[in-house]
């Protein structure tokens, strides 16, 4: 149908492609709005970020190419050093908070007797999602104030000596922000782990019981290895999320006191919006992105290698 | 263990487990309780006790909070509803093309869309801000709605494509033989069958959009600012400020801002749980 058979063999597949292209036009029409939006609001800004990292862009004027100057400045900046250290602490502690409390709660609920009871408690731990994240942040900010809940509680149990303004003390500010949001049972992580437990076949549990693996032993020997995909996913998402997270230091401490709660992503934000050094800000952003990609790759490699 | 309607006993272990769960569950909801009880106090009552239910209530705090919050609340509803609905419409079209149509470049284009999940938000934040600042838009709402739709596409397309691919092919073939075009197939068969998944995607996507703070705080002018941006600006400059704010009204505004999601989740909670646990998210 497409070409004269046996004549100019090269042209047949090409015409075939053309015909398929023509027949595919409804598909391209269906994809067009998405591709336009994604191109302009996702790919183009990403392209700008990466290319302007090598310039002295100020957000207004035509940028000049400055090579790797911004990157050299970033790696030699002592504030960046402090910020990177803060970020490292945040990522490590944040990883524990993302994994352990949801795991504990999903194990406890999974081992309750009765489906209705499990359903009720599962719902209880999803309800807190209705609290807007900014409200959670601001309420916890008020807990940390000198006249806030934390100091009141300390005073009422006779530990008044520990009272202080948690977010204004360089020694406690960073940890106050990291440990904000007790009991850290993230609904998404919790549901993922709970679904993972439900996905384990009953025979596996029965076999473990016969082998005498009960209670904590079963959790360690059976549940944890079988939950590896879910735990791995939560770990990767938590690492990526915490490397780029800077809303609570932005809103509650502005990175202070001093640079005690400054993280690289916050530095990137301030460098652009406050100092107008967009080129330098993009260099920090690119360095962070490289870190995110490297950590993602590393964790995938670890989970694949040990399987 | 056999299935069947048998009474579930309360062993000591079971009681301990439930006690721990109730304690943690209530602690997770504590910020809401804290906001609620303190939203009914005046300054003196707030300074006296942070945890009790006050003996004389001050509901006028809600009047103060409402006058400050009604505009941003409405803006948040407009922005969130428009973004999520438009995300679903565009993602449905794309997912239909990827799942059920044959065209050159299908895998490449899907890869291009999917790869966006790997582009971190902080990388594009500042260029987007500059880009939108220089863009003349017919409405300031669009400054946040358009990028939010774009940001929602990869996740929504990924989930919807899997759902559309699972629709029995003979059902679609039958309709096609009756002369239905692609748009009719999508509207009459694919979307109605996929309604639960569409709702799940909408709810899962709705939460980050409702909570979004950074880009709205940069691109929205004062008249169009959304709830999270407004809450931060009421509260003032964070912990460093010496002035004690009117906590009663502040807490009332926190409570009010939780109401829309509370209402929504009262009806649609199970779609969120199904969406996250069904494996659509696991990728």
Per residue of chain A (307 residues), give pLDDT as tens: 343 343 344 445 666 777 777 778 889 999 999 999 999 999 999 999 999 999 999 988 889 999 999 999 999 999 999 999 999 999 999 999 999 999 999 999 998 888 899 999 999 999 999 999 999 999 999 999 888 899 988 988 888 888 888 999 999 999 999 999 999 999 999 999 999 999 999 888 888 888 887 778 888 888 999 998 899 889 999 998 999 999 999 999 999 899 999 999 999 999 999 999 999 999 999 999 999 989 888 877 877 765 4
Q: Give B124 to chain A, closest Cα distance, Å.
A: 5
Contact residues, chain A, for B104 at CB < 8 Å: 17, 20-21, 24
The whole-chain average pLDDT of chain B stands at: 88
pTM of the complete model: 0.90
Contact check, Cβ <8 Å, A138/B235: yes
User: In sequence order, what are the beta bridge partners of A55?
Assistant: A65
Are A240 and A87 contacting, i.e. CB atoms less than 8 angstroms apart? no
Residue B240 has pLDDT above 60, yes or no: no
**Rounded to whole angstroms, how far apart are CA atoms B44 and B42?**
6
pLDDT (0 to 100) of residue B8: 58
pLDDT (0 to 100) of residue B14: 87
Query: What is the rounded distance in angstroms from the CA atom of residue B29 to the CA atom of residue B57?
Result: 22
Residues of B in contact with A129 (CB under 8 A): 207, 261, 265, 272
Minimal C-alpha gap between B93 and chain A (Å): 5
Q: Is the CB of residue B40 less than 8 Å from the CB of residue B248?
A: yes
Kindly state whether A138 is in contact with chain B, defined as any CB-CB distance less than 8 angstroms. yes
| Residue contact B257–A17, C-beta within 8 A | no
**B142-168: average pLDDT:** 94
Looking at residue B44, its pLDDT comes to 83
- Which of B277, B8, B15, B28 lies closest to A116 in space, CA to CA? B8
Residue A149 to residue B228, Cβ atoms within 8 A: no
B12-16, B107-111, B218-222, B255-259: the lowest-pLDDT one: B12-16
pLDDT digits (tens, 9 = 90+) for B41-79: 988 888 888 888 888 888 889 999 999 899 999 999 999
Candidates A21, A50, A97, A113: best to mutate against B (most CBs of B within 10 A) is A113
Are the Cβ atoms of A138 and B254 closer than 8 angstroms? yes
pLDDT at position A22 is: 77
pLDDT of residue B244: 62
Give the distance from residue B242's alpha carbon to the nearest chain A alpha carbon, in angstroms.
Answer: 10
Which residue of A134, A278, A292 is in closest CB contact with B211? Answer: A134
Cβ distance of A149 and B51 shorter than 8 Å: yes
């Amino acid at each position: 149908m497409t070409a004269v058979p046996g004549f100019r063999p090269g042209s047949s597949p090409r015409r075939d492609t053309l015909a398929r292209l023509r027949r595919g036009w409804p598909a391209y029409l269906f994809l067009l709005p998405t591709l336009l939006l994604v191109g302009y609001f996702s790919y183009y800004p990403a392209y700008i970020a990466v290319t302007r990292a090598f310039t002295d862009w100020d957000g207004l004027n035509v940028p000049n190419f400055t090579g790797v100057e911004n990157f050299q400045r970033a790696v030699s900046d002592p504030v960046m050093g402090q910020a990177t250290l803060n970020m490292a602490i945040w990522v490590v502690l944040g990883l524990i908070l993302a994994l352990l409390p949801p795991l504990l709660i999903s194990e406890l609920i999974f081992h309750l007797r009765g489906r209705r009871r499990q359903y009720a408690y599962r719902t209880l731990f999803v309800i807190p999602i209705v609290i807007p994240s900014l409200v959670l942040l601001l309420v916890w900010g008020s807990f940390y104030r000198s006249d806030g809940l934390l100091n009141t509680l300390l005073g009422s149990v006779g530990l008044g000596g520990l009272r202080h303004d948690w977010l204004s003390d360089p020694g406690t500010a960073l940890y106050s922000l990291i440990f904000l949001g007790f009991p850290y049972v993230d609904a998404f992580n919790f549901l993922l782990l709970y679904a993972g437990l439900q996905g384990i076949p009953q025979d596996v549990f029965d076999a473990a019981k016969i082998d005498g693996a009960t209670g904590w032993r079963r959790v360690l020997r059976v549940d944890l290895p079988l939950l590896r995909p879910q735990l791995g996913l939560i770990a990767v998402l938590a690492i990526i999320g915490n490397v780029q997270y800077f809303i609570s230091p932005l809103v509650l401490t502005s990175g202070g006191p001093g640079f005690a709660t400054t993280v690289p992503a916050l530095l990137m934000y301030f460098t652009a919006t406050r100092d107008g050094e967009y080129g330098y800000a993009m260099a920090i952003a690119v360095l962070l992105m490289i870190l995110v990609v490297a950590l993602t790759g590393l964790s995938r490699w670890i989970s694949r290698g040990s399987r | 263990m056999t299935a069947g309607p048998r009474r579930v006993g309360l062993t000591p272990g079971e009681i301990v487990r439930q006690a721990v769960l109730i304690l943690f569950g209530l602690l997770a909801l504590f910020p809401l309780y804290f906001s609620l009880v303190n939203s009914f106090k005046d300054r003196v009552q707030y300074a006296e006790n942070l945890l009790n239910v006050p003996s004389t209530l001050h509901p006028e705090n809600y009047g103060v909070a409402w006058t400050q919050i009604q505009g941003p609340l409405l803006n948040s509803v407009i922005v969130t509803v428009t973004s999520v609905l438009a995300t679903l419409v565009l993602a449905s079209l794309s997912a239909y093309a990827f799942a059920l149509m044959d065209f050159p470049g299908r895998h490449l284009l899907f890869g291009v869309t999917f790869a966006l999940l790997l582009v971190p938000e902080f990388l594009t934040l500042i260029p987007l801000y500059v880009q939108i600042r220089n863009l003349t838009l017919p409405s300031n709402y669009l400054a946040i709605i358009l990028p939010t739709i774009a940001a929602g596409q990869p996740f929504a397309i990924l989930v919807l494509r899997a759902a559309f691919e699972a629709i029995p092919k003979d059902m679609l073939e039958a309709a096609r033989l009756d002369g239905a075009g692609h748009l009719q197939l999508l509207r009459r068969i694919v979307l109605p069958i996929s309604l639960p998944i569409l709702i799940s995607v909408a709810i899962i996507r709705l939460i980050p959009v409702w909570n979004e703070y950074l880009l709205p705080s940069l691109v929205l002018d004062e008249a169009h600012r959304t709830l999270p941006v407004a809450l931060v600006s009421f509260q003032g400059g964070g912990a460093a400020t010496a002035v004690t704010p009117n906590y009663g009204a502040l807490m009332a505004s926190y409570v009010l801002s939780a109401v829309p999601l509370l209402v929504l989740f009262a009806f649609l909670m199970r779609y969120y749980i199904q969406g996250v646990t069904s494996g659509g998210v696991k990728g």
